[in-house]
A and B are shown apart, each in its own frame.
Chain A
Amino acid sequence: DGGITQSPKYLFRKEGQNVTLSCEQNLNHDAMYWYRQDPGQGLRLIYYSQIVNDFQKGDIAEGYSVSREKKESFPLTVTSAQKNPTAFYLCASSDRQGANSPLHFGNGTRLTVT
């Protein structure tokens, strides 16, 4: 079955540590995205990538970094510079060629930093 796999489902870290969230897709989609969701809030875009070896900042990129070395993978690193890292992180992908191609979401990673 095609889909998006995020791991781990729950992640706990101490303040000051960097942490990397994994996102893998086998949908053969060109575009991938990282969103952040806080309780009772909508999704906010962190980074997105339209093609391998290329990515752009979203609305809240500060304190985050990404890489896109393979079409299937788009890992997100939450650095110690991110002031409020505790949140629900969602990875998504879409077919870049379709004007109205929907976003397909992974199951999310819930990060707690103490």
Chain B
Amino acid sequence: QKEVEQNSGPLSVPEGAIASLNCTYSDRGSQSFFWYRQYSGKSPELIMFIYSNGDKEDGRFTAQLNKASQYVSLLIRDSQPSDSATYLCAVKESVWGAQKLVFGQGTRLTINP
């Protein structure tokens, strides 16, 4: 059983600071990695994906991937109270066609004004 591990938190960060969310995965053959944000009672929404080693930036968000260490992270700069949510890390299994994703349990993030 392929596994994706996240610290469940809660992670508390002051407004304006950098929030760092981490994720490790067990399948060394995994190629694609996704970060989703989920507000309480709502469905997940995609923040960004990454498939190459290194950093990928999109606005205030930066995803970092290190395949050798089987580690992916999400940095949120200038954190806002509206960033308070659960962040889900997902890893794509190697199934042709379908995006069969394995999700971590999520990290609950709270931004304190």
Q: How far is the CA of A58 from the CA of B102 in the complex (A)?
A: 10
Q: How far is the CA of A16 from the CA of B45 in the complex (A)?
A: 34
With an 8 Å Cβ cutoff, the count of chain A residues facing the other chain is: 29
Q: How far is the CA of A65 from the CA of B31 in the complex (A)?
A: 30
Size class of the B contact interface (CB-based, 8 Å): 20 to 34
Within 8 A of A (CB), among B1-40: 1, 4, 6, 8, 32, 34
Q: How far is the CA of A62 from the CA of B34 in the complex (A)?
A: 27
Q: Say whether A96 faces chain B, with CB atoms less than 8 Å apart.
A: yes
> Chain A 32-65 against B: per-residue CB contact (8 Å), 1 yes, 0 no?
0101000011111100111000001011000000
Q: Which residues of B contact A107 (CB under 8 A)?
A: 42-43
Q: Which residues of A contact B1 (CB under 8 A)?
A: 59
Q: How far is the CA of A105 from the CA of B43 in the complex (A)?
A: 6
Q: How far is the CA of A9 from the CA of B102 in the complex (A)?
A: 24
Q: Which residues of A contact B106 (CB under 8 A)?
A: 40-42
Q: Are A90 and B43 in contact (CB under 8 A)?
A: yes
Of B8, B44, B49, B51, which is within 8 A of A43 by CB? B44
Q: How far is the CA of A94 from the CA of B4 in the complex (A)?
A: 21
Q: Say whether A101 faces chain B, with CB atoms less than 8 Å apart.
A: yes
Residue on B with the closest CB to A103? B99
Most buried by B among A35, A42, A45, A107: A42
How distant is A71 from chain B, measured CB to nearest CB, in Å? 14
Known: A31-B98, A90-B43, A102-B99. A40 touches B34 (CB 8 A): no
Q: Which residues of B contact A101 (CB under 8 A)?
A: 99
Q: Say whether B59 faces chain A, with CB atoms less than 8 Å apart.
A: no
Q: Which residues of B contact A30 (CB under 8 A)?
A: 97
Q: Are A96 and B103 in contact (CB under 8 A)?
A: no
Of B51, B97, B101, B104, which is within 8 A of A103 by CB? B101
- Give me 12 A-to-B residue pairs in the complex whose CB atoms sit less than 8 angstroms apart, sorted by A's number: A31-B99, A41-B106, A43-B103, A48-B100, A58-B100, A59-B1, A96-B97, A97-B97, A100-B49, A102-B99, A106-B43, A107-B42
